[in-house]
A = this chain, B = another copy of it.
Amino acid sequence: MNGAQSLIRTLVANGVDACFTNPGTSEMHFVAALDTVPEMRGVLALFEGVATGAADGYGRMAGRPACTLLHLGPGLGNGLANLHNARKAATPVVNIIGDHATYHKQYDAQLESDIETVARNVSSFIRWSVKPDEVARDAADTISAASGPPGQVATLILPADVSWSDATALPDTLPHAERGAARAVSDDTLRTVAAAVRSGEPTALLVGGRACRRAALEHARAIADATGAKLLCETFPARIERGAGLPAVDRIAYLAEFAAMQLEGLAHLVLVDARSPVSFFAYPGKASDLVPQGCTVHTLAGPLDDVDGALAALADEIGVDPRTVARADAARPEVPTGALDAGKLCTVIGALLPEGAIVSDEGNTSGLFAPGATAGAPPHDWLCLTGGAIGQGLPVALGAAVACPDRRVLALESDGSALYTMQSWWTMAREGLDVTTIVCNNGAYAVLNMELGRVGAEAAAGEKARAMFDLHRPDLDFVALAQGMGLPATRATTAEELHDQLARSLATEGPSVIEAMVPPIA
């Protein structure tokens, strides 16, 4: 058994059985070893940003890591933006990077670069695996680190000669990866937070991360309702369970102006696996920290803590029963008609979203109304752009579909973002995944037209500046692009067309793409 085989066997023995990859020469022995370990699924991506984003989507839905297999420093670079998003989502990812043979690095060959400095940007755990006999142990440690809590991108760097050399002293049983125990909430914390929510002063619970799943949301909603506190959710949760029968939660607005209104007047803000709210970008003359003056911020549970346990203990302390919590009613919006716009587009989604759907939301400005339109749709999961690095939506949809083959995935995409990692479509087709993509084509980086004014640069900007947000000249044809990648694709210019095309796509196995022509909302 060589190092590569030892690695893959350790991965599958610890539940890591999906590998998203674009390999090169230095990874050939890992690739060859795929055939010796039938449990490992190898999923080819045509670009590393697809592979890393898919690992993120997989990890969010499976609750355990997939692995990547990337080709040296440049392959890692190509995958970095979506690893950044995965890091911000606290997704468990085993990030495997092939490297030159250990003895080859001294020659500074063409593909040589400093992998570790790049990896450090997304991984606090980095392991160079330099002995074939220790690859299994290194792999188990990497899986442990990735699994958390908190979930994270953990990187294993595998030199080619370690991959191809025989492992002479493989342990009888493959090493076991341990998931760390989450910390229980302390009595002190519990008392302080309980006092805050009972104080009668304006209070909000802010949930994020693992607190956006059904059980946590039920507890949080019950606590909020019993005490008169607001319940808010972070702006871009990695995964939130929502829809009819689940508690409704307001997300903090992307625009700091609106977020400030949501938070105005609070005396207490209780964080539950959420970060204290800050504006996405800095704006001249506006505060970056969105916590109102005089508001005390409490942390009920952080990244290392037992979130469900903390919320259950708080509910207990307050004396509320989450089973009786208010839940969103089942409700479908009326199907709209006429020329398509962003609002109607979201309404059509609300009218059709199937039970158990997974929505990968990178609709950006065009998708603004989608959460509202789907609030009463059957229960579903919603996955957001956690790190702000565009090009996440399609790969995350791909990975979610690999993790959940029995569920329909809807990728709600914007034109500018889709163009970053469009190669995802080819892998969806190859793997026969049930992913419906709606690309909102408004011919612009519409968010930047809005941001231009918000940062106070509008007055100086003229034709040259505005051309930098313009995706016309030439017009992009997403039907042709999707067909070029091997997918069936259609174009919708009216609400009726979108409704028919979406209904058909949702009822058809395998992936398809709908280009929805909408004017910019901003």
Chain A residues packing against B (C-beta within 8 Å): 21, 23-26, 28-29, 31-36, 42, 44, 46-47, 49, 73-75, 77-78, 80-81, 84-85, 88, 100-101, 103-104, 107-111, 113-114, 117-118, 120-122, 160-161, 164, 236, 275, 278-282, 284, 288-289, 386-389, 391, 416, 419-420, 423, 426, 429-430, 447-448, 451-452, 454-458, 460-465, 467-468, 470-471, 473-487
Contact = CB atoms under 8 A, between A and B. Distances in A.
A200 to B, nearest CB: 30
Contact of A281 (B100, B448, B471): B100
B486 A476 contact: yes
Nearest to A160: B282
Copies in the complex: 2
B486 A477 contact: yes
Nearest 8 pairs of A and B residues by beta carbon: A474-B486, A77-B80, A74-B389, A101-B282, A480-B484, A481-B484, A35-B462, A104-B282
A54 to B, nearest CB: 15
A279 B109 contact: yes
Contact of A161 (B35, B81, B161, B284): B284
A78 B80 CA distance: 7
A468 B21 CA distance: 8
B280 A388 contact: no
Contacts of A467: 42, 44
A152 B316 CA distance: 63
Residue of A73, A75, A108, A464 contacting most chain B CB atoms (<10 Å): A464
A84 B74 contact: yes
Contacts of A73: 80, 84, 121
Given A25-B455, A101-B288, A161-B282, 18 more contacts: A25-B451, A28-B448, A28-B455, A32-B452, A32-B461, A46-B471, A73-B84, A74-B389, A84-B113, A104-B278, A108-B275, A110-B388, A164-B284, A426-B474, A430-B474, A474-B487, A476-B486, A480-B481
Given A84-B113, A121-B113, A278-B109, A474 B485 contact: yes
B481 A486 contact: no
Contacts of A476: 426, 484-486
A451 B84 CA distance: 31
Nearest to A278: B107
A477 B468 contact: no
B289 A107 contact: yes
Nearest to A81: B74
Contacts of A24: 448, 451
A256 to B, nearest CB: 11
Contacts of A471: 46
Nearest to A79: B77
Contact of A32 (B457, B474, B483, B484): B457
A78 B100 contact: no
A104 B288 contact: yes
Contacts of A465: 31-32, 34-35, 42
Given A103-B288, A278-B107, A463-B35, A419 B46 contact: yes
B28 A110 contact: no
A26 B429 CA distance: 36
